[in-house]
Structure 1
Amino acid sequence: MLKPINPISNRVADGRRFAARSIVITSLSALSCFVFRRRILPVVEGESRDESIYPGGHVLSNFDEHAVEYDEQGHAMLLFDKLPGGSMHSDGDSINIGEAMFYAQIEPFHFSDYGQRQNMLKNIPDWKPKKGDILAMVVSEDLIKWVEIVGVTGQTLHAHHGDKYVLNVRDRLEHLEPFITQESLLVPESNPFPMPLSQLLYQDAPLYEFEENDPTTKADDEVKTKLFKLVNFTDPQLQNYPSIMSIVHLNKRTNSHYYFGQEDQERIVVDVRNPETYILTSDVPVKAIETPSGHISYVAVVIDRPSMVSQIEGELSALRAVQVKDGEKIIFEIMPMHFDELRKAYHFICTLVLGQAVQYDLVFESGEIHRLELDATGLGVA
């Protein structure tokens, strides 16, 4: 049979693809964007689309706005091939882009890597922009431009096509969810706390830390992603982890309280404090096991920040230790078996000491340290 394109040529295309991503990520002219994915709402059961729309409405296509919702997909850098310019607004704060259609390169990135060019370049999200996506281009703290991807073009027949995206200008979209206000874009709302421990299940969405410095401007506001995610020990998504299974088994064999039961999970409220502190409180005493160091309960912590996952993986591959310490005492050693391939995350187990605030350090052999604090001073023992 005839052979496909020479694999050497494909490797050259791979290099070009990486170079193109590098140009977009590092270009001074690139724009940071929020990306929203369009979702078509299903027709109401038993009704046609004509019957389910607002009174007086007319269906022109399956993509009518009344039948569409937008979900936040992620973040990307956008670099125009050529911006034709356009007429100035009367107040001089922006322009009307002159062309109805224009081209750009778009490269997704993880928000946790934002500002760290090397991490943005090498940590590639598992999604790609596609037709129908809406992009909110952050031009300045007071100006957001909206565009829609209406097509994708390929530049070669190699494995990596050299994608370029065809864009149309959209009107302002602040009248639609999830972008009612411009501020909701610039300051992400991914902090669900305080919340009951029973609802603290693993989500791959980042948890943000927000610091407002000068209240008169957003230019110096800092939005960072938390490194550690505290999760409910009985989260069904985590029940096949060996380290959790062993404690669950021990709990059943001894009929003790090595982790909080359902009743206590409903009573305990979890809140956060910057930079990496989880605060657990309860109005009524809860059950735990008694030890010489106090009453304790086990909790699980997940790390899914892509740059940190990559760093841990690199350390373990080089046979260097990655440990969780309480002072000088090693309480957990992260191993390859603690990696969740599905969620691209590592986890570890640590103890919560009721009535105390305990600090744990994630320690690398290089001396790099990341601190987590679990504050249980608001928990009493039943």
Structure 2
Amino acid sequence: MAPTNQVLVKENLNVRIIILNRPKQLNALSLEMVSRLLELFHAYEEDPSVKLIIMKGEGRAFCAGGDVAGVVNDINKANWKVGAHFFSKEFTLNYLMATYTKPQVSLLRGIVMGGGAGASMHGRFRVATDNSVFAMPETALGLFPDVGASYYLSRLPGFFGEYVGLTGARLDGAEMLACGLATHFVPLEKLSLLEDALCKANTGDPNTISKIISEFSSTPKLKEKSQYFRLKTIEGCFSQRTIEDIISALEKEAAKNMDEWISWTIESLKKASPTSLKISLRSIREGRLQGVGQCLIREYRMVCTVMQGQFSRDFFEGCRALLLDKDKNPKWEPSKLEFVSDSMVERYFQALDIKEWEDLKLPARSNLPSYAISKL
């Protein structure tokens, strides 16, 4: 099958450079792209001549996420199983990347959100830069941090993963490096030099690759108002057992010292879908104790329940308000946290009792997940 123009491939000796190529859509992942990436990753793993994979995005984004507006449109035209097909392929790709036997270097220029994080965070090397912007904004859309986010967010220090996953906070490259989402930071002007050096080295040895990236790396200073300097407050508040307790702890902090960050954090939680917040918190907490495969299988149950829309239509309402009509005024149902009971949350974690539906079947893999936290 010839490469599609949504995913480009450059061959350089034994290195394959995969370029996400929907720049006008900020490289949002379509079904066509996910299918092609799966095909390429399978082929390269079996090809002994391929030693290293470099991933990057065309234009001003690495990847802004999965094409959720397209998924919602497809669901509205056909049924939710169309969306389930997309997510099953995407999550299988995430698992393949997490257990890949060859090094993957992701050059994270520009936006890295949602599905874009899934296509990079599971790889061995994640290179942030001056204009990197990471976020998992799903709770504002009536969804939850998926693509294995309950695995990698739950492994960030000091409940920082809960903070990022629940609020949709945006992190810059320095913050990505500090919390471990990025393994390296390379200034923008050196990214193409790094790519050339990796191609010339023509090696698949992770230690050699790490040394090469380190030669171009620097340790950026965190901004004066960096969220990462709030780690102590984040740990105290986001370690609480429930969303209500988290908000209450933040409000107590605000009473002592109200500032822009505290008010933004409280406002972000209060604007998000109450159902999304509750299932997201439980998902990240469960992720701490699960392997990446278990996380993806559980997240697939959750996303299918969300798309089915039987218990809440918040995903469709969030997409309407933020992506389609863009009035930024979603009407969540249930509308308040207290209306979302534990039994309602539990439904998202159970297998769907529907004919022709089955749990995500991940391929047998021998390699351990490559995700590792690297701190400053």
TM-score range, shorter chain: under 0.3
Instruction: Report the structure number with the largest CA radius of gyration.
Output: 1
TM-score (norm 2): 0.28
Bigger fraction of residues in strand: 1
